[in-house]
Each structure stands twice: as structure tokens, then as C-alpha cells.
Amino acid sequence: MSTKSYIYCDYAAGTPCRPEALAAFAEFATGHYANPGAHHPLAYIAKKHLYDLHDRMGRAIGADPREIVFTSGGTESDVLALRGMLAAAKAPRNELVISAIEHHAVLLEAQRLERAGARVHYAPVSADGVIELDALRRVVSERTALVSVMYANNETGVLQPVHEVAKIAHAAGAKYHCDAVQAFWKLPVNPKEIGADLLTLAGAKFGGPKGTGILYNEMTNRLAPVIIGGPQEWGYRAGTENLSGMAALAVAMELADAERERAWPRVEALRNRLEEMLSKALGDNVRINGAGAPRLPNISNISFLHIEGQAMAIQLGEAGYCVGLGSACAPGETDPSHVLAAMGLTWEDAIGCIRFSFGPDITDEQVNGLADLCVANYKHLRGLG
């Protein structure tokens, strides 16, 4: 089966690279290949492009070019935010606070910091997957160096009250890091409006090349580098600058920002239709996780009760539909989700989870076909006919 024969419903894991981004990558790879750190005419031209690209990426989120640190993607940006802030923090601020539903890039780095001696607090969430603000207030204190709470959950699409989280962090004198990897493209993302001191984006989630991302770092922050060996990226990330990747990412950010309002209302309507069709056909045998909270327009996390989600995903894949089981970055591909566990789901309910995440290319016919297949496959797997 060719790539065009598949119907891709896993945009939360990765998106196709935009042709315009690929063209920008090729232009810079072949035409602006000099090292910006060298000292000759082509290097000086590259250095000017380096600043211009930081400016373009910054303008897409309302930031100064000096506040943009180019990285290899969301994971590196998250690690730099957490490890960098904790390493630079001064006593008594040696504590980290995160939500219980953070992406593994944040969760596993928090656990690593905990093993290294930092104290980490894990704020709980409601049954719909929204952080409990009162619980957050109880663990944020004068000892807190950083609060890290995502904008939109990568598994359920549930939105977090980021403005309130920022206020809680700042009231205690702590910094706030927002992983906005899933939110950008679908929602306006401006760290200064949110109140984020640090913010993570990943190009692979909105049509940029994989291996590209940024960490917004408010310019008054004290941040220790994780990768050392040179002064690049304002001293926060050593290594010869990837101008090609920056150019592609800048283009993808600009296009994603420009098409946001027209791209997603139709997708949200189709996502809602899928959930309605499944609920009508299967009733109490399906649970739409996070449905009681504000969500991104393209993600639907559904537990098919009494079956294994992996079995459903395999059958859908054989019919040409590519869907997810949860986070594509989970340590064990078939492990029940820590996000769903934090929301109170049992192991049995969590193991039946499927994540559908649509792009702007999804059609009415494809959604109708997906719903019909899910119903037929569920009945087959349950032995119901």
C-alpha cells in the first residue's frame, strides 16, 4: 500500500512537512551554507540571516529575537527549560512543580532531577484532565524555582488554565514554563500574554521538519546551558547553527499562524461528529476522555471498553487508517497512559484507549468511514457479531 493510500489520523504525533518549509530548507542548505561563526564574507551573510531568522521566529509568537533559542525539538527544549532553570536557581529555590499529565520529556526529566536531589511536586488533575489549581497553590512556595504545566495535553487535547498557572507561579516568585507543543497552530500562542517565562514549540507538530524546535526564554531569566562547547544561541545551546532548519521552522511557524482561524473549525466539527457517531452506536462501551473540558479542535481520546486499543489500532491500520495509542513518546508503546491514570481511569479502561488526531486534510467521507470501521471492529473484537 502506498503512502497516499493511508488516511493519516495521528497529527498529534507528527505532521507532514510543508513544501514551503522544505523549499526554505533547501535554499539555505545550498545557498547559505557558511558557518555564521567564521570570519569571511559568506559567514557574515550567514550571521545576518541567523539574526533575521530568530527575528521571524520571535515575531510569530510576539517575542524578541534574543529570546528564541533554536533546538532539536520539543524534548530538548523541555529538558533545557527544566534542567537549565534548576541548575541556575539560587537557594532556597531548589524545587520543581509539574502537573501529573506532562509529556514524558518533562516527566522523565523531572524524575531525573529528583534522583539528583531536587524536590519535585506533582500536581493532580481532575477527572477531565485539568490541573487542580488549589492543589497547585499548596505546593508552590518560596522554595519553588520552576512550575512546568503544558498548554494542551498531547494525549487528550485538554487545555490547561495557563494564565492562572502563571499567576500562581509568579505570586510565589517562581518562573513558569509552558510546553505549548500541541497548542501552537490550533491556538494563538504568545508567551508574554500567557505569562510564560519559558515556552516550548516543536516544528514537527505544525508542518516543520522533524528535529526543529525552539525554547522561548524571557531575556532576564537565569538559565544554565545543557549542551556546552561554544557560544551559539546566546550561549544556551552550543554547536554550529542549523540555518536550514531555522529557515524551514520560521516558514512553518508563519504559515501555521496565518491559517489558524480558517483551518480548524471544520476539523473540530468532524471530530465532534466522530464522537457522536461512536457514542450513538456503542453507548456506554466507549468513553471520551476529557470531553467535559475545553480541548484542542483536532484530538479525540477514546477508550473502547472491554477490548485492547492496540487490537483496534491494528485493524484500523489494516484498513488504511493510521491512529495513535496515546503519546508517541511513551517509554512502552503498549503501557497504559500515565495521563489517563492521573485522570482516574482504571488499567482496563486505559488499555482500550485510541487517540485520533486529525489534520486540515481530513474529509467528511474519511471520518464517516472511520466511525463505521470502529463500530464494526469493536463488535468483532467483543464477539458481538
pLDDT in tens, 3-27: 668 999 999 999 999 999 999 999 9
Residues 213-236: pLDDT tens digits? 999 999 999 999 999 999 999 999
> Which of 255, 277, 299 represents a domain boundary (last residue)?
255
Catalytically active residues are: 329
> Which of 204, 233, 255 represents a domain boundary (last residue)?
255
Residue 335 has pLDDT above 80, yes or no: no
Residues spanned by the domain of 81: 19-255
Name the packing angle between helices 19-31 and 243-282 (round to 10°).
Answer: 160
Average pLDDT for 339-352 = 96
State how far the alpha carbon of 58 is from the alpha carbons of 49, 66, 101, 215, 282, in Å: 14, 8, 28, 10, 46
pLDDT of residue 5: 87
Q: Distance between CA 40 and CA 220 in Å, rounded? A: 32
Shared domain for 148 and 117, answered yes or no, is: yes
Global confidence as pTM: 0.96
Query: Can you say whether residue 47 is alpha, beta or left, with left for phi > 0 and alpha for psi between -120 and 50 degrees?
Result: alpha
Cα–chain center distance at 236: 21
- CATH code: domain of residue 142: 3.40.640.10
Shared domain for 218 and 338, answered yes or no, is: no
Shared domain for 198 and 64, answered yes or no, is: yes
Shared domain for 178 and 243, answered yes or no, is: yes
Residue 132 has pLDDT above 90, yes or no: yes
Number of separate helices (H) and strands (E) present in the chain = 12, 12
Shared domain for 264 and 234, answered yes or no, is: no
Can you read off the three cell numbers belonging to residue 248?
Answer: 524551514
> Which of 255, 272, 307 represents a domain boundary (last residue)?
255
Name the packing angle between helices 309-318 and 364-382 (round to 10°).
Answer: 130
Residue 39 has pLDDT above 70, yes or no: yes
Positive or negative: CA dihedral 68, 261, 288, 359: negative
pLDDT of residue 336: 78
Shared domain for 188 and 278, answered yes or no, is: no
Give the closest residue to 67 by CA, choosing from 231, 224, 236: 236
Shared domain for 96 and 219, answered yes or no, is: yes
Neighbours of 137 (CB within 10 A): 14
Percent of the chain clearing pLDDT 70 (strictly above): 96
- CATH code: domain of residue 303: 3.90.1150.10
Q: Distance between CA 385 and CA 376 in Å, rounded? A: 8
Shared domain for 204 and 331, answered yes or no, is: no
Q: Distance between CA 333 and CA 327 in Å, rounded? A: 8
Shared domain for 9 and 30, answered yes or no, is: no
Domain count, the chain: 2
Residue 212 has pLDDT above 60, yes or no: yes
Residues 246-282: pLDDT tens digits? 999 999 999 999 999 999 999 999 999 999 999 999 9
pLDDT of residue 333: 55
- For residue 137, which amino acid is it? R
Average pLDDT for 116-125 = 97
Helix (H), strand (E) at residue 282: helix 243-282
Shared domain for 237 and 265, answered yes or no, is: no
Shared domain for 165 and 294, answered yes or no, is: no
Shared domain for 220 and 271, answered yes or no, is: no
pLDDT of residue 101: 98
